[in-house]
Amino acid sequence: MDFDASIILCTVNEIENLPKVVEKIENIAKFNYQFVFVDDGSTDGTREYILNYCK
């Protein structure tokens, strides 16, 4: 699949903010994109959110 852009989201313990950010991007992006998540060892459920999102 071809993408117009890659949106790179770098996180560490951002479970309170990451779902909101992802939702806002999904709502405003009018082009074909992919998310690239970079997690730095989160311990608050961020990693699990990312893994779930990618399913």
Report pLDDT for 1.
Answer: 74
Tally of structural domains, the chain: 1
Nearest Cα residue to 13 out of 50, 38, 37, 47: 47
Mean pLDDT by 10 residues, the chain (55 residues): 94 98 97 97 98 95
Report pLDDT for 23.
Answer: 98
Domain that holds residue 14: 5-53
Report pLDDT for 53.
Answer: 97
CA atoms lying within 13 Å on the CB side of residue 10: 1
Report pLDDT for 37.
Answer: 98
